[in-house]
Amino acid sequence: MAKLPVEIIDLHEARSVALGRAVEEANKVQNEIDFTYLGADFVEAMRLNVFTNIHTGTFFDTLVSRKREWRGFHPFIICFVDRFLYSDRLSNLFGSRRSEAGVGLVTTYGVEDLIIPKGKMAAYFIYELASHALAFIVSGREHHAESRGCIFDLKAADKRAILSSMRAGAPCDECRKWFLANGKDLSSQQLVAINALLHKSSLLIEEGADLELDAEPKSSKSVSKFQEDEAIPKGYRAGNDLEAAANRGAVREDPSVEPSKARKVWREKLDFLLVERASAADAAVKFRLDREIEEAREVLKGIRDEQS
């Protein structure tokens, strides 16, 4: 059977070495999915859409229309960025996808060192490649609010939930049952390939990382990160995990206050930056964060002035 082509557009400011390693490893551990990079033309075409804060829906609208214009066969594309991601419902996302359209987006913003230990980014990338590939093959699986150490965890309660999900190296029983029942397009070889990828990711995250992973998080405050699939219906009612996150203001759904979208996003970004700043050790990182915090405060002040 022909390999499933999944193409990658690296939109990091500087091309990610860890992503290159991940793609290489991902192709080595299985034979069903062919991960390849799209060239400079595609990178340039999409780079115009890389803003400081990226609205995933808007980004996908553009990517889907570009995909139609591009010559050749591009059924599945995953873009990687180093920017803050938000959607109409959630913010500070790890990634998002529009499974049926075959497009995905993953960020490394606020991930390395803060959530994924330094030097372990290849594990994160392989995990994301596997999750997106699986969702492309069988679209429609919704994330569950409960954390079960599964790739379909919404990862809302704790930013580090992704680590247990990565370590587990497989979907939870309920998700596996769902894929068996609904995955008519998923061959058993493809499922084996997905499992091989998740297993590789779990090996990489564990490898010599005992000390780092078992240590207390650097900051006592959790920065919530979400994985979202646009296939989840808008009225989706979340469980305790998501509500806990909502209480900290991490979820963009609060009917009692209705500030402008921009103001809310920027306030969340500022909160996020402040947490990151508190745990930053490196001087260059601190400097960058200070500038970003200052910028966020100024933007917020501008928005307030505009509205008053």
Query: What is the contact surface with Zn ion in residues (CB under 5 A)?
Result: 150, 152, 172, 175
For residue 121, what are the contacts with CB-CB under 8 A and spacing of at least 6? 16, 18, 19, 22, 108, 111, 112
3-class DSSP assignment, residue 194: helix
Closer to Zn ion at the Cβ: 95 or 110? 95
Cα–Cα distance list, 55 to 32, 104, 218, 229 (Å) = 32, 13, 29, 13
Closer to Zn ion at the Cβ: 130 or 172? 172
Q: In whole angstroms, how close is the CB of 173 to Zn ion at the nearest point?
A: 8
Q: In whole angstroms, how close is the CB of 190 to Zn ion at the nearest point?
A: 18
CB 160 within 8 A of CB 212: no
Cα–Cα distance list, 120 to 104, 140, 158, 209, 253 (Å) = 21, 29, 19, 9, 33
Q: From start to end of the chain, where are the E strands?
A: 4-10, 33-37, 53-55, 76-81, 84-86, 93-98, 103-107, 226-229
Q: In whole angstroms, how close is the CB of 178 to Zn ion at the nearest point?
A: 8
Closer to Zn ion at the Cβ: 59 or 152? 152
Closer to Zn ion at the Cβ: 141 or 225? 141
Q: In whole angstroms, how close is the CB of 23 to Zn ion at the nearest point?
A: 25
Closer to Zn ion at the Cβ: 54 or 130? 130
For residue 71, what are the contacts with CB-CB under 8 A and spacing of at least 6? none
Q: In whole angstroms, how close is the CB of 135 to Zn ion at the nearest point?
A: 12
Q: In whole angstroms, how close is the CB of 172 to Zn ion at the nearest point?
A: 3
Distance between CA atoms of 274 and 229, rounded to whole angstroms? Answer: 28
Neighbours of 174 (CB within 10 A): 13
Distance between CA atoms of 283 and 235, rounded to whole angstroms? Answer: 43
Closer to Zn ion at the Cβ: 137 or 175? 175
Closer to Zn ion at the Cβ: 60 or 179? 179
3-class DSSP assignment, residue 29: coil
Q: Name the β-bridge partners of 55.
A: 86
CB 183 within 8 A of CB 138: yes
Closer to Zn ion at the Cβ: 19 or 137? 137
For residue 94, what are the contacts with CB-CB under 8 A and spacing of at least 6? 85, 106, 107, 111, 128, 155, 162, 225, 226, 227
Q: In whole angstroms, how close is the CB of 175 to Zn ion at the nearest point?
A: 3
Q: In whole angstroms, how close is the CB of 169 to Zn ion at the nearest point?
A: 13
